[in-house]
Amino acid sequence: MARLNEEGQWIVLMGLLVAVALFFLAVIVNQSALVGQTTAEGVLEFSKNDIRDLREAVFDYIDAYEKDAAASEAIPEDIVAISLERKNAVVSFSVDGPQDILGHEMRPVTIHYNNGVTVYDETTYH
């Protein structure tokens, strides 16, 4: 065994390092599948657009109410019923009489939204 050329040993060493690195990468990839799913679910479950749609419907109702109060009387009931039927969300909102906010006539609006996962409460002026 005398005087073998040992200069190529680093190749074997690098091979070992690459193997260890690959092992850790595999562990991370394995985890990422689960994490990705959880995150995607979280994003999908969050009812951002449902809440936006509800706010829009409420504000539209206020505009309609100011134009023709008698004709838009049944709208709140419809909003609540449709939210429950289509979006599985318990919704309630109330609109008070106009107030003077910095020179603008505005109505205080409270909106409550709950679909079992996300609860949203808002008090705003429209």
Partner 1 sequence: MMDDRAVSEAIGFILILGLVLTGIGLVTLYGYPVLAKEQSSTDMKNMERAMIVIQNDMKSLCYKNVPYKESTLQVSGGTLEVIDADDYGSSMNISYNTGSDTGYLVYPLGALTYRSDRSNEVITLENGAVITRQDGQAGSAMLAEPRWFYDEPTKTFVIYIMNVIADDRMAKSGMATVRMSLEKASTRPHEPEPPGGPVTVTVTYTADTKNDHSTAWKNYLTGPTVGMERKGGAENTYEISGVSKLVIKEYNIKILGI
Contacting positions for partner 1 (CB under 8 A): 34, 37, 41, 81, 84-86, 88, 90, 92, 112, 114-117, 121
CA 25 to chain centre: 31
Residue 41 or 66: the one with the smaller Cβ distance to partner 1 is 41
Sign of the torsion formed by the C-alpha atoms of 97, 59, 83 and 45: negative
Residue 12 or 28: the one with the smaller Cβ distance to partner 1 is 28
Instruction: Please report how close the Cβ of residue 92 comes to partner 1 at its closest, in angstroms.
Output: 5
* Cβ atoms of 54 and 83 closer than 8 Å: yes
Instruction: Please report how close the Cβ of residue 52 comes to partner 1 at its closest, in angstroms.
Output: 17
Residue 72 or 118: the one with the smaller Cβ distance to partner 1 is 118
**Is the backbone of residue 88 left (phi > 0), alpha (psi -120 to 50) or beta?**
left
